[in-house]
Amino acid sequence: MSFRRSTPRLLTARETPSLSGGSEVDALSDAPRSDDPDRPRRKWSRRRRGSRLPWVPLFIIVFVLILPAILAPWLTPHDPLRGELGDRLIPPVWMSGGDSEFLLGTDKQGRDVLTRILYGARISLIVSAVAIVIGTVVGSTLGLLAGFYGGIIDRVVSWLVDTFLSLPVVLLALVIVSAIGPSFITIISIISVTIWAVFARQIRGETLSVRESDYVARARVAGASDLRIIVRHVLPNVANTLVVLATLQVGVVILEESSLSFIGAGIPRPQPSWGVMVADGRELILSAWWLTLFPGLAILLVVLSLNLVGDWLRDFMDPQTRQGR
């Protein structure tokens, strides 16, 4: 009896990934389910394993961020930069005084809020894509080198990482922008410079543990060169971290860009950055709340979705749970 009871417990603990629904586990168990001591644990692990595609967040990312960024000019008849002063401060369409031409209302210069949000997605996407690519490439390269070789390289990289992570981004941005003026390039550079360190630190740590693993030792014994080991063994093992981190960092970058734009150190007006829109709506928040709410909601939803997708990716990329899908 004791042996038979231990069998389903083992299966539960090991989380056999091919048993997708959990019903097979139950079928093997002949112990009554109600007094199964592992019940709470199984519930927890089922939730973790039940990481199905996060449809809602993906939907939001596609329809609020990616599609508008690509298709903005075709999605709306309005100009994001120029409005008719006669159309100023029209409330959203479902309010009294709303106009079906301006679904989410207009700002005090008569520009359509929805149009500006759509074009704002473009700015958010470009800024985050460029910054993430730079940050990932620079950060993971330095992190891999530092973690793999250690010694003086590691000390220099770690010192740089600590230094850059202790820079106050907002102050730095304010100083730079007041010196050379706000522009697209400036904001991208500032954000890239601050996020590479996050990647470098994380990848360095993972590399340290992968470097000590037996499969790296085995590759060495088999005569593989350092470059081959880094590219073929270390990188694939840190790649899932990299992907997850990059996804989560997109959210951080969008937030950072919005914050900098909000305080005027980011995207120069009249470009329709979400941060700029929130900032501009601030003084009218009591009367024309839609100016602040909708771009704010866009930021919130997109960043939240990115974080949720990042969480899901972390589960998905784990080779222990990847199988059976």
Whether the bond into 270 is cis, omega within 30 of 0: yes
Do 253 and 199 touch, CB atoms closer than 8 A? no
CB of 218 to other proteins, least distance (A): 5
Q: Which is nearer to other proteins, 33 or 228 (CB)?
A: 228
| Of residues 63, 6, 64, the one with CA closest to residue 37 | 6
Give DSSP secondary structure letters for 36-63.
Answer: -TTHHHHHHHHHHHT----HHHHHHIII
User: What residues line the site for other proteins (CB under 8 A)?
Assistant: 213-215, 217-225, 228, 232-233, 236-237, 239-240, 319-320, 323
Q: Which is nearer to other proteins, 97 or 236 (CB)?
A: 236
Q: Which is nearer to other proteins, 243 or 284 (CB)?
A: 243
Measured between alpha carbons, how far is 280 from 261 in angstroms, rounded to an integer?
10
Paired tokens of 261: 């734009």
Please tell me whether residue 177 adopts helix, strand or coil conformation. Answer: helix
What are the CA-CA distances from residue 241 to residues 51, 94, 134 (Å)? Answer: 17, 45, 17
CB of 170 to other proteins, least distance (A): 38
CB of 228 to other proteins, least distance (A): 7
CB of 17 to other proteins, least distance (A): 8
CB of 309 to other proteins, least distance (A): 21
- 42 exposed, middle or buried (CB, 10 Å; 0-12, 13-18, 19+)? buried
Measured between alpha carbons, how far is 23 from 9 in angstroms, rounded to an integer?
14
Q: Which is nearer to other proteins, 63 or 215 (CB)?
A: 215
Q: Which is nearer to other proteins, 108 or 220 (CB)?
A: 220
CB of 237 to other proteins, least distance (A): 6
Q: Which is nearer to other proteins, 35 or 214 (CB)?
A: 214
